[in-house]
Amino acid sequence: MGSLLTESRYIESLTTIDRKKHLQKIKIIKHLYVKGAKTNTDLCSRFNISSPTSMGLLNELMTEGLVEKQGRGKSVGGRKPDLYGLKDNSLFVLSIDMERFKTRIAIFDNNNNNISGIYTYTFQISKDLSAIEQLYTYASDLIESSGINPDKLMGIGISMPGLVAAGAGTSYTYLRTQQQDDTLQQILEQKFEKPVYIQNDVKSATLAEYRFGLAHNKKDVLVISMDWGIGLGIIMDGKLRSGTSGFAGEFGHIPLVEDGALCSCGKRGCLETVASGIALARKAKEGIKSGQSSLLNKLSDQEIEQIEPGVIIDAANQGDQYAINILAETGINLGKGIAILIQLFNPELIILGGKIAEAEQYITIPIQQSINTYCMTQLRETTSIALSELGKDAGILGSVATVMENIFESQIELAR
């Protein structure tokens, strides 16, 4: 039980009583992971078990090194009860957050403590499987240098951009398996010899917001990632929604402009062509080449061709009016799209994340102005707009939560 990973043939060998006990222990561990330290009374109430049964399970989990006493809870008259929580460094997850041109890797423990630091590697995520060997080398080196017990590594979570069918373990944009029989998930599991879970980067960030960020304890939240592209994560009725194929949230590819610019998806006039990092960079280049007065004119020809949203945001923060104007134009277009989302989903909160969110008031004010213009009053007044507090760590934290929750669910299914 110390590794939490139990094979089906072992569970099948258990008696009915032992299988029930194993299931109860897994449920307790999952509850402590999601909700934090709890008292014995809390666990009895949550799982409808007697106090002696709950205490016996906790004692076994403490003996196995997974649970420990963590102070005392609130008293309802008399002695304060003991709190029980997951012990640090009992279990580990390798989290990989892949972007188009760089990848961040870190190891977290079961209490979401980063025990390795976050390492950033500059290499391009490939359309085919050619990047896997390099990814495996970086990840293996980090596991070895961390000094953790590999037996306690529960699994590996990978977030990546593009169309990702997490349930099927397949990516349709990057690391494509082409005509191979095995899915991307299966190929990675054979390589790492550990469970591997892949997820779209925005959905991963959305799960992080739900577990650790502003969406915690909320039921209806939209998370919008504003980077080179635009992505949407949907939490409805307290659950992350993925759709039939896992592709729900392709917000950036909603047609917005009649006969507009060609989008990467092959259509014309998508929201992404007027309200993304790609659009922002294009506008900056066009303005510089047309002679606009801007701090951006100081850039070399090569820097102009490779301009990133962060450079434009920096210029805006220095008072550059042209940079402020194109950020505002981007925000107005994005606000039109968000107004549609508010009227479709009626969320209580919309969280803005990604690189463009770092523009703060230069992007949020025009977004809000656009929402005020295009959204029905009754709907917009019940929706709050906020900037993510997790920032660039949202994706890597989401991969941790993805692994933990999938491992728990798979073990629960095996033990039923």
Among residues 86, 114, 145, which one ends one of the domains?
A: 86
The residue assigned the tokens 């082409």 is 178
Across 159-174, average pLDDT: 92
| 286 & 356 share domain | yes
Same-domain status, 198 and 274: no
Is 198 in contact with 158 (CB distance < 8 Å)?
Answer: yes
Say if residue 236 is in the same domain as residue 314: yes
HSE-up of residue 6 (Cα within 13 Å, Cβ side):
21
Q: 226 pLDDT exceeds 60? A: yes
In this model, does residue 204 exceed pLDDT 90?
A: yes
Beta bridge partner(s), residue 255 = 270
Residue 96 belongs to a domain: yes
Q: Of residues 12 and 22, which shows the higher confidence score?
A: 22
Q: State the CATH number of the domain containing residue 24.
A: 1.10.10.10
Q: Which two tokens stand for residue 206?
A: 């959305």
The answer to whether the CB of 156 falls within 8 A of the CB of 196 is: yes
Asked if residue 375 and residue 248 are part of one domain, the reply reads yes
Q: 1 in a domain, yes or no?
A: no
pLDDT of residue 131: 94
Q: Which band of pLDDT confidence, cut at 50, 70 and 90, is reported for residue 311?
A: very high
| Sequence-ordered alpha helix ranges (H) in 92-164 | 132-146
Would you state the pLDDT for residue 377? 93
What are the pLDDT digits (tens) for 260-278?
888 888 889 899 999 999 9
Q: How confident is the model at residue 96 (pLDDT cuts 50, 70, 90)?
A: very high
C-alpha torsion 391→393→399→405, nearest 10: -70
- Decide if 287 is inside a domain: yes
Shared domain for 161 and 228, answered yes or no, is no
Q: Which of 39-48, 164-173, 299-308, 380-389 has the lowest mean pLDDT?
A: 299-308
**Mean pLDDT taken over the chain:** 91
42-46, 167-171, 301-305: least confident range: 301-305
Are residues 224 and 192 part of one domain?
Answer: no
Q: Residue 409, Cα to own-chain centre: how many angstroms? A: 18
72 and 105 belong to one structural domain: no
The whole-angstrom separation of Cα 127 and Cα 98 is 13
Predicted local confidence at residue 1, as pLDDT: 43
* Rounded distance between C-alpha atoms, residue 174 and residue 327, angstroms: 29
Q: Would residue 44 count as lying in a domain?
A: yes
CATH number at residue 153: 3.30.420.40
User: 3-class DSSP state for residue 255?
Assistant: strand
With 0-12 / 13-18 / 19 or more C-beta atoms within 10 angstroms meaning exposed / middle / buried, residue 270 is buried
Q: Are residues 60 and 102 in the same domain?
A: no
Residue at 3 is within a domain: no
* pLDDT of the residue at 4: 54
Give percent of the chain above pLDDT 90.
70
CB 169 within 8 A of CB 188: no
Quick: pLDDT tens for 116-159: 999 999 988 999 999 999 999 999 999 999 999 998 999 999 99
CA distance 62 to 323: 57
> How high is the pLDDT of residue 385?
95
The mean per-residue pLDDT over the stretch 100-125 comes to 93
**Residue ranges in 243-360 assigned as alpha helix (H):** 272-275, 277-289, 301-305, 309-317, 321-345
Q: What's the domain range around 197?
A: 92-206+395-415
On the CB side of 303, how many CA atoms lie within 13 Å of its CA? 10
Domain end marker among 20, 52, 86: 86
pLDDT of residue 213: 94
- Tell if the pTM clears 0.85, that is, is over it: yes
- What pLDDT is recorded for position 8? 63
pLDDT bucket at 375, cuts 50 / 70 / 90? very high
Other CB atoms closer than 10 Å to residue 147's CB: what's the count? Answer: 9
Burial class of residue 180, CB neighbours in 10 A (0-12, 13-18, 19+)? exposed
- CA dist 258 → 81, 113, 250, 261, 332 (Å): 64, 48, 19, 9, 17
Q: How many separate helices (H) and strands (E) can be counted in the chain?
A: 15, 15
Answer with the one of 86, 115, 131 that is the final residue of a domain. 86
Q: Which of 382, 374, 383, 329 is nearest to 356 (CA)?
A: 329
Per the domain annotation, does 2 fall within a domain?
no
Q: Give yes or no for residue 305 having a pLDDT over 80.
A: yes
User: Is residue 233 in a domain?
Assistant: yes
In 3D, which of 13, 82, 91 has the Cα closest to residue 54?
82
Residues 264 and 122 in one domain: no
Q: How far apart are CA 159 and CA 95, in angstroms?
A: 8
Number of domains in the chain: 3
Clarify whether residues 159 and 300 are in a common domain.
no
Q: Do 56 and 99 lie in a common domain? A: no
Verify that 132 and 274 share a domain, yes or no.
no
Give the mean model confidence (pLDDT) for residues 321-335. 95
pLDDT score of 2 more than 50? no
Among 59-63, 209-213, 258-262, 353-357, which stretch is predicted with the lowest mean pLDDT?
258-262
Distance CA 212, CA 221 (A): 14
